[in-house]
Amino acid sequence: MSDVTFTLEPGSFHFLNGPSGAGKTSLMSLMYLGRKPTRGRVTMFGQNINDMAGHSLGPLRQKIGVVFQEFRLLPHLSAFDNVALPLRIIGTSEKEIRNNVNELLEWVGLGDYKQSLPRTLSGGQQQRIAIARAVIARPKLLLADEPTGNLDEEMGFRLMNLFEQLNNMGTTIVIATHSQVIMERFGHPRLMLDQGSLRVETPKSWFKRKMDGVF
């Protein structure tokens, strides 16, 4: 990437798109604070991260939910405990954790797999667990890398509707995807990366949905 400049308004929803090698993974890693820029500046939640020590980034990371393409589930934890992890980190009561995790697992169709370890689940099931873990604490920023890639169309649309509900509650969302079907159906503005540069495209369908009060 070179000289990429953009701002995500709080509560916005963008798709991130571009050919392989365009820099999507690098951009996402900067956004979830997995790396610092070698030049330029990254400001998150009003704070310049360039000069922050590594241990100071923890509170900022707790505001970010991430769905990685390779899932990154903890292999020794059950589906329930993987999803519950963000709530336990912030000190949520076990009663509230139980209620929220059980409800979300039912919603993503995995209510019968609460005690299953990741290795016993299919790729699509692991992906749904990873998505549930990312959204359970209602992060201020949600970043998802191809979150519907291993899912059938019905479940993909269902999870996109979950992301839109979260967005309606104020979460800023960026979804990296190659799916033209997803982008056209949901019609949010697109961050287009190509040859290291970035441009923003807003489809006409977004303005229509805005006028219709969809979001």
> What's the CA angle centered on 140, arms 148 and 198, to 5 degrees?
65
Q: What is the pLDDT along the chain (215 residues), one digit of tens a residue?
A: 566 788 899 999 999 998 877 888 888 898 998 888 888 888 888 888 888 887 788 889 899 999 988 899 999 999 999 999 999 999 999 999 999 999 999 999 999 999 999 999 999 999 999 999 999 999 999 999 999 888 888 989 999 999 999 999 999 999 999 899 999 999 999 999 887 788 888 876 665 656 666 65
Name the burial class of residue 213, with classes exposed (0-12), middle (13-18) and buried (19+) by CB atoms within 10 angstroms of its CB.
exposed
Tokens found for residue 38: 């070698």
C-alpha R_g of the chain: 17
List of domains in the chain? 1-63+140-215 (3.40.50.300), 76-138 (no CATH)
